């Protein structure tokens, strides 16, 4: 029988701009009732850390089902093990002197397709041709986004972090905080 392990589940677009309101305390209770252990959330934007014997994708699917059944919301989710999150942070191509606020990681369920990778390359080239310092690099199932002037003013970021492609973005600080929570779960 599988041992319990830490799982991080990222929810896309909850509690943003008044949309997809999801109270974290009630979510923790519902997920605990569904069988997940040591359920914790980080900030209001949809980050869950828990323990389960299930594989990370199955935990993400369970979280998505609980949100649909208990809260009536259709919220895409992505699950990561603690080891996968640690790997994502370790391979993050951080530019020298970069502000943590300028660094974002978009996490997908699976590795990106060749078409998606080609589109990223095209968007990066277009952005830089227009004088932007924004940059993105895809590694496996992650896109690492660098927006030195801020993600809120970036014309490049919405093209890379596009709902039709899936995935969900987290900044450097949030990603590291989630790793810390997953490491200290239990």
CB atoms within 10 A of CB 33: 11
The pLDDT tens digits of the residues spanning 116-128 come to 889 889 989 998 8
| Residue ranges, CATH 3.30.70.1280, the chain | 5-86+176-183
Residue 26 has pLDDT above 90, yes or no: yes
Residue 136, phi-psi category: left (phi > 0), alpha (psi -120 to 50), beta (remainder): beta
State which fold the 5-86+176-183 domain adopts.
Answer: Alpha-Beta Plaits (3.30.70)
Q: How far is CA 185 from CA 7, 34, 43, 49, in A?
A: 9, 18, 17, 8
What's the mean pLDDT in 46-67?
96
SS3 for 92-105 is: CCCCCCCCHHHEEE
State which fold the 95-171 domain adopts.
Answer: Alpha-Beta Plaits (3.30.70)
d(CA 158, CA 33): 36
pLDDT at residue 56, rounded to an integer: 97
Asked if 169 and 122 touch (Cβ cutoff 8 Å), the reply is no
d(CA 65, CA 169): 21
Percentage of the chain surpassing pLDDT 70? 97
């Amino acid at each position: 029988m599988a041992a319990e392990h830490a799982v991080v589940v990222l929810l896309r677009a909850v509690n943003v701009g008044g949309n997809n309101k999801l109270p974290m305390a009630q979510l923790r209770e519902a997920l605990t009732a569904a069988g997940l252990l040591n359920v914790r959330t980080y900030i209001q934007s949809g980050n869950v850390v828990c323990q389960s014997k299930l594989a990370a994708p199955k935990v993400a699917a369970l979280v998505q089902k609980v949100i649909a059944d208990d809260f009536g919301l259709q919220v895409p989710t992505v699950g990561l093990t603690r080891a996968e999150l640690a790997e994502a942070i370790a391979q993050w191509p951080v530019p020298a002197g970069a502000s943590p606020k300028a660094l974002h990681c978009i996490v997908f369920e699976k590795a990106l397709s060749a078409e998606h990778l080609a589109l990223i390359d095209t968007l990066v080239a277009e952005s830089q041709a227009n004088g932007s310092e924004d940059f993105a690099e895809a590694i496996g199932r992650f896109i690492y986004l660098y927006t030195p002037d801020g993600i809120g003013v970036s014309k490049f970021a919405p093209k890379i972090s596009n709902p039709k492609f899936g995935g969900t973005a987290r900044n450097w600080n949030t990603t590291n905080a989630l790793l810390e929570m997953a490491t200290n779960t239990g």
